[in-house]
Amino acid sequence: MTNLDHEGFWNETLTNLRNDLREEEFSGWFTDMKYLRSEENAIIVGIPTAFHRDKVNTYYLNNINTKLKEISGKNLSLVLEVVGKEAENNISAIPEIPENELTKTEKTSKPKAKISQHPQMRDDYTFERFIIGENNGFAANAAIAISRNPGKAYNPFLIFGGVGLGKTHLMQAIGNYVHENSENEVIYITSENFLNEYVQAIRENKMNIFKNKFRYTDVLLIDDIQFFQKKDSIQEELFHTFNALLDSKKQLIFTCDRPVTELKNLDARLRSRFELCLKVDLQPPRYEERCAILKATAENRNAHIPEEVIDLVGKNISSNVRDLIGALMKLIAYTELMGKPITIEIAQQHLKEIYSSGRQANLSMDNIIRVTSEYFGLTPNDLKGKKRSQNIVFARQLAMYMGRDLMDYSFTEIGQDFGGKDHTTVMYSIDKINAKMLKDPSLETTIDNLRRSIKEFNTKY
């Protein structure tokens, strides 16, 4: 069989994959592949990075091989070969052209090796260290697609979700990839620093410098846009920066701790711009993903953590990635400082404080719903369902209020735990409870009793 025939099999397989997958998923993983050659029972395809290869092998290879066999009628399989910069042994070995032989045009177009870390971003915030699971797969696939085609694929881009779920990690992974693999200029800045630079530019009469810095970059990453609320002047400046970059087909990426629709003190014009974004929601990781994150973190620190300890932490801390890693780092610090291995007993002892504090696994929406339903003589299904009787609606609204009060979950997160209700329903419910407290002071007593019952339940279980 000829190479041409093998390439035809590969092209037909790609067509099948495009039909089966969402467009952003297909673009994120398959558009950068390149047919290289064929062997008797294999098709060899080039892929830009080892990370890219490993993810495709993990999530798609079995499906691809099945399609190849169906299309070709033979026992063909896919082999991925890294052909990008990672395959180069030493970039400095590329011969340099003497300075006097370079024309001005050649100097301008000559590739530059990006070997230094971006000064505003963490070097460990990469795609390789971002654990992709069911709850964040869409967001990760979109981010990978953007990193390969900034300004073209999914622009602008907004990542939102609760605290500690990996918004900044995913944003900076895009920035680090673009910085290391292209000549595009990348600016990463928090909303607080963006505001500080704006104020300083006004004070020093250097607004032209400020505008040129942010309006003429290639990729602009702004973290935590919720802090722009009630700041009219900086919202005006961001609106014009947004327009300038979008008109120039430059990439804009933002993070927020909630959907834009929940930002009440945002200028209507700027809100309309954020509505243009591809918006992805990061949810707390599932148990399997939590265990994968813990194992990857331990490996990166060269720390041996027994499987039963990984299981203990993964089952008991489900709030967010930050809490999860924080708990593990406490155990790793113990092994490093004390020179002793971690046992299940030591882990239980040292994580007791974390389990009993704030927003963690014991203090979950499921437990709040359970305690609230029992308090009012109902069932959890009554609160999660669609029944509209007055007593059920009131108990449901109180449970939503307690989720916001005790755990500071976003409206979207709370809605997901009530059968996928819209965030506007949650907002309405919480507003109703606040309004009732103003009219009926005795409701505060009910809330205090309910809060106490929830905390007692968490202590027991």
**Each residue's pLDDT tens digit, 435-459:** 898 888 788 888 888 888 887 776 5
Residue 48: which of 8, 98, 83, 15 has the closest Cα? 83
Higher-confidence position of 289 and 407: 289
Backbone angles phi, psi at 77, to 5 degrees: -135, 160
Higher-confidence position of 257 and 270: 270
Mean pLDDT score of the chain: 82
Q: Quote the pLDDT of residue 5.
A: 65
| CA–CA–CA angle 331, 335, 336 (5° rounding) | 115
Fold of 3-87: GMP Synthetase; Chain A, domain 3 (3.30.300)
Q: Is the pLDDT of residue 213 over 80?
A: yes
Residues of the chain with pLDDT > 90, as a percent, come to 29
The domain at 137-282 falls in which architecture?
A: 3-Layer(aba) Sandwich (3.40)
Name the DSSP letter for residue 111.
Answer: -
Q: Quote the pLDDT of residue 174.
A: 96
Residues 6 or more apart whose CB falls under 8 angstroms from that of 166 comprise 130, 136, 282, 321
**Among the four given CATH numbers 3.40.50.1390, 3.40.250.10, 3.40.50.10480, 1.10.1750.10, the one describing domain 365-460:** 1.10.1750.10
Residues in the chain: 461
Mean pLDDT of 15-35: 78
- Tens digits of per-residue pLDDT, 265-274? 888 899 899 9
The whole-angstrom separation of Cα 69 and Cα 76 is 6
pLDDT confidence tier of residue 417, bands split at 50, 70 and 90: confident
Q: Does domain 287-355 have CATH number 3.40.50.10540?
A: no
Mean pLDDT of 364-392: 88
Q: Quote the pLDDT of residue 169.
A: 94
Q: Is the pLDDT of residue 242 over 50?
A: yes
Its pTM stands at 0.57
- Which 3 state secondary structure label does DSSP give 430? helix
Q: Is the pLDDT of residue 349 over 50?
A: yes
The whole-angstrom separation of Cα 65 and Cα 310 is 34
Task: Please list, residue by residue across 434-459, b when 16 or more beta carbons sit within 10 angstroms of its beta carbon and e when fewer do.
Answer: eeeeeeeeebeebeeebeeebeebbe
Neighbour order of strands in the sheet with 42-47: 34-39, 42-47, 77-82
Q: Quote the pLDDT of residue 25.
A: 67
The whole-angstrom separation of Cα 363 and Cα 311 is 18
pLDDT confidence tier of residue 326, bands split at 50, 70 and 90: confident
CB atoms within 10 A of CB 429: 25
Range from 105-114, 324-333, 368-377 that averages highest in pLDDT: 368-377
- Which 3 state secondary structure label does DSSP give 79? strand
Higher-confidence position of 135 and 403: 403
- Tens digits of per-residue pLDDT, 132-175? 877 788 889 899 999 999 998 789 999 988 777 889 999 999 99
Residue 238: which of 272, 200, 205, 262 has the closest Cα? 272
Considering all CA atoms of the chain, what is the largest pairwise distance in Å, rounded to the nearest integer? 86
Domains of the chain, residue spans = 3-87, 137-282, 287-355, 365-460
Q: Quote the pLDDT of residue 289.
A: 83
CB atoms within 10 A of CB 386: 8
Task: Provide the Cα torsion 20, 23, 26, 27; round to 10°.
Answer: 170
**DSSP H/E element including 269:** helix 268-274
Structure tokens at 80: 């991925």
- Tens digits of per-residue pLDDT, 54-109? 778 877 888 898 888 888 888 888 999 888 654 544 333 333 333 343 333 333 33
**DSSP H/E element including 157:** strand 157-161
The whole-angstrom separation of Cα 22 and Cα 28 is 10
Residue 259: which of 394, 415, 112, 364 has the closest Cα? 415
User: Is the C-alpha dihedral spanning 148, 150, 153, 157 positive or negative?
Assistant: positive
Q: Are 165 and 283 in contact (CB under 8 A)?
A: yes
Q: Quote the pLDDT of residue 6.
A: 77
> Is 365-460 the same fold as 3-87?
no
pLDDT confidence tier of residue 408, bands split at 50, 70 and 90: low
Q: Are 373 and 382 in contact (CB under 8 A)?
A: yes
Q: Quote the pLDDT of residue 363.
A: 67
Higher-confidence position of 374 and 455: 374
Put residue 345 in one of left, alpha, beta given phi > 0 → left and psi -120 to 50 → alpha.
alpha
Q: Quote the pLDDT of residue 24.
A: 59
Half-sphere exposure of 159 (CA within 13 A, CB side): 31
